[in-house]
Amino acid sequence: MSLSKQDVEKIAHLARLQITGEQIPGFAAQLSSILTFVEQMNGAETTGVEAMAHPFDTPTRMREDIVTEINEREAMQSIAPAVEAGLYLVPKVIE
């Protein structure tokens, strides 16, 4: 499986990674080899095998509906780059 330049650009955009034109052939080759590696699984016989969603064959544990967390805003916001009026500030997301 071989990825095109456009595939690599799209993947980078979806991951919000900025890459340069010179980097594309290298990434294309690396990603393609990962896909080729994974593709080997297509050769396995899976007829009658139920698809798994997780390697552990056990159901999820559930918790009771109880509030256990306390307000730790001050501690959380002490490591944020910008806060105001209790809000986390981020670069403007709409015009």
Partner 1 sequence: MSWEPVIGLEIHAQLQTKSKIFSGASTAFGSEPNTQACIIDLGMPGVLPVLNREAVRMAIAFGLAIGARVAPRSIFARKNYFYPDLPKGYQISQYEIPIVGKGSVRILLDDGTVKEIGVTRAHLEEDAGKSLHEDFHGMSGIDLNRAGTPLLEIVSEPDMRSAKEAIAYMKTIHALVRYLRICDGNMQEGSFRCDANVSVRRRGDPIFGTRCEIKNVNSFRFVERAINFEIERQIDVIESGGRVDQETRLYDPDGNETRTMRSKEEANDYRYFPDPDLLPVVVDDALVAAVRESLPELPEARRERFMAQYALSAYDAGVLTAGRELADYYESTVAAANGEGKLAANWVMGDLAAFLNREGREITDSPVTPAMLGALVNRIADQTISGTIAKKVFELMWNGEGDPDAVIARHGLKQVTDTGAIEKAIAEVMAANPQQLAQYRSGKDKLFGFFVGQVMRKMQGKASPEQLNALLRDKLAP
Site for partner 1, rule CB under 8 A: 10, 14, 16, 53-54, 56, 58-69, 71-73, 76-77, 82, 84-94
Cα–Cα distance for residue pair 63/44, rounded to 1 Å = 38
Residue 36 tokens read as 């080729």
Looking at residue 41, the DSSP 8-state letter turns out to be G
> What is the four-CA torsion angle of 7, 9, 12, 14, rounded to 10 degrees?
-70
Identity of the residue numbered 77: Q
State the nearest-atom distance from the C-beta of 49 to partner 1, in Å: 15
- For residues 22 and 84, which CB has a smaller minimum distance to partner 1 in the complex? 84
CB of 67 to partner 1, least distance (A): 5
- Compute the least distance from the CB of residue 11 to partner 1, in Å: 10
Residue among 14 and 44 whose Cβ is closer to partner 1: 14
